[in-house]
Amino acid sequence: GEEVAQTPKHLVRGEGQKAKLYCAPIKGHSYVFWYQQVLKNEFKFLISFQNENVFDETGMPKERFSAKCLPNSPCSLEIQATKLEDSAVYFCASSQWLYEQYFGPGTRLTVT
Amino acid sequence: DQQVKQNSPSLSVQEGRISILNCDYTNSMFDYFLWYKKYPAEGPTFLISISSIKDKNEDGRFTVFLNKSAKHLSLHIVPSQPGDSAVYFCAAIRPGGSQGNLIFGKGTKLSVKP
């Protein structure tokens, strides 16, 4: 597609439950990025992929967070055993090269 | 340690006038800079970018200026329109080239009054 698609738009989970977020990048884009927006306007980089391979995971919390980009499937970001501090808006972005990135509308995760 | 700084949380401008949004960075290894616009409950929208080998890039009403010696860039919007009211984020590409994730400032909320 011509836009980055993210589902669901909103997700509510009780503390300790699993959360799974999905992202379909723009067709033809090789790179996918996940960012977490917390505390008003702060964006935190989580992980990036080049096609189905992890490109950079330096921002990814080692515990509880995992991500995949498999061929012919949306990319996914999974949080095992969610905590209150995971409440945030999660944005996916895609790019053809490692410069301009195009963002999806985000998934708002609320952990109660 | 914040590597990209937008020191003005908000800016108010009259319709038709110029809006100037500022951004400073600390890492001289950044080699590409971008501006994004964000409306509430939407994802950031790419506006304009500039490479560190240039000092100006223009696209319609939007112009970005880069002053490498001062580690400063600015976004000019002329003329400003009410629809430009949004939060504007400055971003830089992380040094190292092979990583590519954006380092964002905290944004400036622009209000354009009719």
For residue range B36-80, list pLDDT tens digits in order: 999 999 999 999 999 999 999 999 999 999 999 999 999 999 999
CB contact under 8 A, B100 and A31: yes
For residue range A4-29, list pLDDT tens digits in order: 999 999 999 999 999 999 999 999 99
Chain B touched by A98 (CB under 8 Å): yes
Residue A108: closest C-alpha in chain B: B41
- Using pLDDT thresholds of 50, 70 and 90, give the confidence band for residue B98: low
Interface of B with A (CB under 8 A): 32, 34, 36, 41-46, 49, 87, 89, 93, 97-104, 106-107
Among the listed residues B29, B75, B67, B25, the one whose alpha carbon sits nearest the alpha carbon of residue B49: B75
For residue range A44-71, list pLDDT tens digits in order: 999 999 999 999 998 999 899 999 999 8
B25-28, Cβ contacts within 8 angstroms, sequence gap of 24 or more: B25/B71, B25/B72, B25/B73, B25/B92, B26/B1, B26/B2, B26/B71, B27/B3, B27/B92, B27/B95, B28/B68, B28/B71
Residue A9: closest C-alpha in chain B: B41
CB contact under 8 A, A41 and B87: yes
State how far the Cα of A8 lies from the Cα of A10, in Å rounded to an integer: 5
Q: Quote the pLDDT of residue B39.
A: 95
State how far the Cα of A107 lies from the Cα of A45, in Å rounded to an integer: 15
Residues of chain A found within 8 Å of residue B100, distances taken between Cβ atoms? 31, 33, 48, 55-56, 95, 98-99
